[in-house]
Amino acid sequence: MTQPPTSFDRIPELALDWIAQGRQVAIATVVSTWGSAPRPSGSQMLIAASGEIEGSVSGGCVEGAVVIEAQDALRTGVPVLLEFGVSGGDAFSAGLACGGEIKVLVEPVGAGIGAGQGLPLDLLEQLVSARAKRRPLTYEVALNTWVRFLREPRTGEVQIGIVDEAYIHTHEPPLRLIIAGAVHVAQALIPMAQIVGFDVVLIDPRGAFATPDRFPDVTIFEDYPDDVLSKIGIDHRTAVVTLAHDPKIDDPALEAGFNSDAFYIGALGSRRTQGQRLERLSARGYGPEQLRRIHGPVGLDIGALGPAEIAVSIMAELVARHRRPR
């Protein structure tokens, strides 16, 4: 499967891909912010020795200076901690017009193990493997000695930030969107979700609908949702959206969502269809608290017409629910 068009949340995975292609790379990470910083702590950018970049640490303000420092770090194998503020008083006269301040850690990858050297390749491989298994893992690096390790997250600790001269970054599993129904709305929704950074899983037992030609670069299961979801699971970083307009396909996916930590559950259909859906699920024993989890009709009410506009409304509601959970 290819990478989505933008990979802001896929920097570890993309770093391994670039290294496999024979490139020398460094990872730049925002480790702390103050004021109106354009990108939050944990934001990352990948830099190749030849100058290619992916991701962002500031939205464009200081990327040029970070690239130059990253290329120097790749030559020496030594990480560097950069500071940028509104004054632009650093060596490259790069500053943040928004008035904030950020610290950016630049780490060459695969430069060796030990003090004063870069991020070991095996550590990056372990991190990527954990993310692929949807297992949270914390990366910790001492900013005074460059000693690094991976560990299980601790309850109640800071997930991303600097604590006692160490940068802590808990990598959560990638966001995931499970879609039941390989219909025309899904064709518009999936590219949007991939750009935002969602892994997409498409489920539909109808082989004529769920084809790689209609849905390239997507994980497709030609089966019913209850059979698939019992195997792959649904966690707190997962959204479930049903689009099939067929209760035999939609309802099992909704029921699987009820019995999970999914952060969003949505179902396509008119208000009349939603009423009938609630009656069916209520008859199956689901109570008001579970039924209220369904966003139906799915998506923000923007007066959407046609598959593309409906997909925009769904994507907007997904982002809103993820960023501003109630």
Catalogue all structural domains in the chain, each as residue range(s) with its CATH number.
Answer: 11-171 (no CATH), 176-323 (3.40.50.720)
At 15, the amino acid letter reads: A
Instruction: Assess whether the previous peptide bond of 297 is cis (omega < 30° from 0).
Output: yes
Distance, in Å, from the CA atom of 176 to the CA atom of 234, rounded to the nearest integer, reads 9
Distance, in Å, from the CA atom of 167 to the CA atom of 210, rounded to the nearest integer, reads 44
Q: Give pLDDT, residue 156.
A: 82
The C-alpha torsion from 28 through 3 and 168 to 146, rounded to 10°, is: -50
Q: Is the pTM of this model over 0.75?
A: yes
Distance, in Å, from the CA atom of 18 to the CA atom of 34, rounded to the nearest integer, reads 32
Q: Give pLDDT, residue 96.
A: 55
Distance, in Å, from the CA atom of 260 to the CA atom of 189, rounded to the nearest integer, reads 23
How do strand 25-34 and strand 44-48 relate by DSSP bridges? Answer: antiparallel
Look-up of token digits 């020398």: 24
Q: Give pLDDT, residue 36.
A: 65
Distances (CA, A) of 213 to 183, 198, 207, 218: 13, 20, 12, 10
On whether the CB atoms of residues 262 and 236 are closer than 8 A, the answer is yes
**Crossing angle for the helix pair 184-196 and 306-323, nearest 10 degrees?**
40
Mean pLDDT by 10 residues, the chain (326 residues): 49 95 95 79 94 86 89 93 69 52 93 69 95 94 94 89 94 94 97 94 96 95 95 95 96 97 96 95 96 95 94 97 85
Residue 135 per-residue DSSP state: -
Residue 85's nearest CA partner among 47, 33, 39 is 33
Structure tokens at 117: 């050297």
